[in-house]
């Protein structure tokens, strides 16, 4: 029961993270209830924010059928990965990015992570000990998931610090220039969603992490921008009401 509760927390985090945009070093994209694609910058030097991977047009993933597939985790995960590959097109133009797949399959009661591009690069820098593409990554955060209160931000921060060179002091740094460039209504929604996620991290995250205080500082200008956007929306609405009443 406890493991099921922990996995549900992870899946809830996954759903929230998958709805966000505006991070500097990574871009998430939710794919169903149990899977998330994560594009992570390989080099932070002079790089632009990673773009979202997108599903191939007209292709829909076929759900795993317990009656038609083996019940072993390895066969299920292999089938899931084949389905994933057939239903997604990777952003080939993003040569400075590495694509990961994060998943929390209820059937097996735990999260997994795979690398889906630039596999050889991570092997070379010590992030992988296998050249088998379909082998789940041996991340410390996922290994500790059984015994500690690991959340999705622990997995993401480990992947960013592993993948991005030089390793950023704050894996959850925001691309404020991009966020400020959004249309007003989008900016209000995006900043609100980011605030919800980062404030949840500040409450439940590990305060001993080196980047925890960096996230605290990151939230301050984000909160100001969110409420500034709210005030602008309210002024526009008020002006519109006054104009229509004339």
Does residue 168 share a domain with residue 194?
Answer: no
Judge whether 94 and 39 are in contact, CB under 8 Å: yes
Does residue 202 share a domain with residue 94?
Answer: no
Q: How far apart are CA 153 and CA 106, in angstroms?
A: 19
Does residue 138 share a domain with residue 112?
Answer: yes
pLDDT > 70 fraction of the chain, expressed in percent and rounded: 72
φ, ψ of residue 231 to 5 degrees: the values are -65, -40
The pLDDT, as a whole number, for residue 93 is 41
Mean pLDDT, residues 196-210 taken together: 94
Does residue 194 share a domain with residue 161?
Answer: no
The Cα diameter of the chain in Å comes to 71
- At 216, list the tokens: 């605290």
Does residue 209 share a domain with residue 162?
Answer: no
Domain boundary (119, 152, 172) is at 172
φ, ψ of residue 214 to 5 degrees: the values are -65, -40
The pLDDT, as a whole number, for residue 49 is 65
Domain boundary (123, 155, 172) is at 172
The pLDDT, as a whole number, for residue 96 is 82
Domain coverage including residue 32: 2-172
The pLDDT, as a whole number, for residue 145 is 87
Does residue 167 share a domain with residue 179?
Answer: no
Does residue 213 share a domain with residue 99?
Answer: no
Contacts of 172 (CB under 8 A, 6+ apart): 23, 153, 156, 157, 198, 201, 211, 214, 215, 218
Tokens 């404030």 -> residue: 199
- pTM of the entire predicted model: 0.77
Q: How far apart are CA 229 and CA 198, in angstroms?
A: 18
pLDDT tens by residue, 5-37: 889 989 999 999 999 999 999 999 999 899 999
CATH number of the domain residue 16 falls in: 3.10.110
The pLDDT, as a whole number, for residue 18 is 94
Does residue 190 share a domain with residue 234?
Answer: yes
In whole numbers, what is the pLDDT of the chain averaged over residues? Answer: 79
Flag whether pLDDT at 66 surpasses 60: no
Domain boundary (154, 172, 190) is at 172
CA angle (22 as vertex; 20, 25 as ends), nearest 5: 105
- Categorize the per-residue pLDDT at 193 as very low, low, confident or very high, splitting at 50, 70 and 90: very high
What's the number of domains the chain is made of? Answer: 2
116 vs 196, which has greater pLDDT? 196
Does residue 224 share a domain with residue 210?
Answer: yes
- Categorize the per-residue pLDDT at 118 as very low, low, confident or very high, splitting at 50, 70 and 90: confident
96 closest CA partner among 40, 53, 174: 40
- Categorize the per-residue pLDDT at 113 as very low, low, confident or very high, splitting at 50, 70 and 90: very high
Sheet strands (E) in the chain: 26-31, 35-41, 54-55, 88-89, 97-105, 110-115
Does residue 195 share a domain with residue 110?
Answer: no
Does residue 127 share a domain with residue 26?
Answer: yes
Does residue 194 share a domain with residue 149?
Answer: no
Contacts of 145 (CB under 8 A, 6+ apart): 6, 10, 110, 111
Flag whether pLDDT at 121 surpasses 70: no
The pLDDT, as a whole number, for residue 174 is 97
């Amino acid at each position: 029961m406890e493991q099921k509760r922990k996995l549900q927390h992870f899946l809830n985090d996954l759903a929230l993270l998958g709805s966000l945009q505006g991070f500097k070093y990574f871009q998430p994209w939710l794919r169903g209830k149990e899977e998330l694609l994560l594009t992570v910058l390989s080099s932070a030097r002079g790089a632009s924010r990673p773009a979202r991977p997108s599903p191939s047009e007209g292709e829909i993933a076929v759900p795993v059928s317990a009656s038609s597939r083996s019940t072993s985790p390895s066969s299920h995960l292999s089938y899931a990965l084949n389905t994933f590959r057939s239903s997604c097109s990777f952003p080939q133009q993003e040569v400075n990015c590495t694509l990961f797949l994060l998943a929390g399959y209820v059937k097996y009661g735990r999260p997994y992570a795979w690398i889906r591009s630039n596999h050889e690069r991570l092997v070379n820098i010590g992030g992988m000990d296998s050249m088998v593409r379909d082998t789940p990554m041996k991340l410390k955060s996922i290994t500790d998931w059984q015994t500690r209160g690991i959340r999705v931000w622990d997995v993401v921060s480990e992947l960013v610090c592993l993948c991005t060179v030089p390793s950023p002091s704050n894996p959850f740094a925001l691309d404020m220039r991009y966020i400020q460039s959004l249309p007003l209504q989008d900016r209000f929604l995006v900043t609100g969603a980011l605030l919800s996620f980062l404030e949840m991290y500040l409450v439940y995250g590990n305060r001993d992490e080196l980047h925890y205080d960096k996230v605290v500082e990151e939230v301050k200008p984000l909160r100001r921008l969110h409420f500034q956007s709210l005030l602008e929306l309210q002024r526009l609405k008020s002006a519109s009401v006054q104009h229509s009443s004339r």
